Structure 1
């Protein structure tokens, strides 16, 4: 079905772009704070790993072939990992920049500690989680549609206690 192939390509491109943005923002923060304790930077390291894994899988599964739809369990796991990263970033911000979804007075100033960058990282991690979730749903739809039994055929299940003889 051409619609699912095109939709899958669009989702994979969005997943790739969103993961690259989050990896860049969090990577610049990790670079600026490279001499701090790993415990304090754990949530950013986790987010960076999820972003790197997402970039790798999005590139590999970007090619349109029917085998790319059977990876829906992995898409679901990556989506959950992105939701966890989103929650960790929101928890770290802890209201320091105001309400998380308040996008008023956002400016680009180049400061690695600015609220604009953190809100962008939070927003794109949430969008990435949604894209991976939708990609899993499309995969489930495709697998269900292409593995359904043919009309008119019935399957008889042999009872476990009966022998074949």
Structure 2
């Protein structure tokens, strides 16, 4: 059945696209404030590192081999990293551009910093969800294939040891 492979490829492409969008938007912000302290930009640097690692591993695991499903612990780990980035960015925004999920005041004319921040937050959440779903698909695939493997093997019988008493 090719459904898990197709779902895995779609999720990897989404993970790759979301990480690339976040890298571009966040990198633009980091470039515009390049004189600031690294301590003040720690949340954005963390998000940039997670996005870079996500791009690397999404490209590596994009190829549709069955071994790509056994990486579900790494998928779960990346999901946690993205949820942390999401939380850090939401706490950093702290209502400066309005409510985080309020997209009514977004405009792409003039200064688009609020739109940029909210887009980074939204795509980091979507990336976390994609990595989580990828981990769930991997867990399901591994459990299904190990269960099938165990049911198809022949039962093993224990031989009686020659040195044991027959009484």
TM-score computed with the length of structure 2 as normaliser: 0.88
In structure 2, C-alpha distance between the alignment counterparts of 1:37 and 1:81, rounded to whole Å: 23
| 1:111 CA drift (Å) | 3.3
Q: State the Cα RMSD in Å.
A: 2.1
CA shift at 1:109, angstroms? 2.9
The residue number in structure 2 matching 1:142 is 141
What's the secondary structure of 2:84's corresponding residue?
helix
**Matched ranges for 1:125-140 at <5 A:** 125-140=124-139
Question: Counterpart in 2 of 1:44?
Answer: 44
Per mean C-alpha deviation after superposition, the further-off stretch among 31-40 and 143-152 is 143-152
Alpha-carbon distance, 1:155 to partner: 7.2
Following TM superposition, by how much is the alpha carbon of 1:110 offset from its aligned partner in structure 2, in angstroms? 6.0
Q: Distance in 2 between matches of 1:138 and 1:91?
A: 30
Structure 1: 5+ residue stretches without partners: 157-163
Please name the residue that 2:160 is paired with: none
SS at match of 2:151: coil
Q: CA deviation at 1:34?
A: 1.1
> Normalising by the residue count of structure 1, what TM-score does the alignment of the two structures yield?
0.89
2:56 aligned partner: 56
CA distance in 2, matches of 1:82, 1:129: 5
1:68 aligns with 2:55: no
Q: Structure 2 stretches of 5 or more lacking a match? A: 158-162
User: Judging changes above 3 Å, is the alpha-carbon distance between structure 1 residues 128 and 76 closer, same or farther for their aligned structure 2 residues?
Assistant: same
Q: Distance in 1 between matches of 2:65 and 2:109?
A: 42
Equivalent residue, structure 2, for 1:85: 85
**1:48–1:152 distance in 2 versus 1, CA, 3 Å:** closer
Partner deviation per Cα, 1:1-33 (whole Å, 9 max, x = no partner): 300000000000000000011111110111111
Show CA shifts across 1:71-123 (max 9, x none): 000000000000000000000000111111111132113636x2111110000
Q: Which has the larger radius of gyration?
A: 2
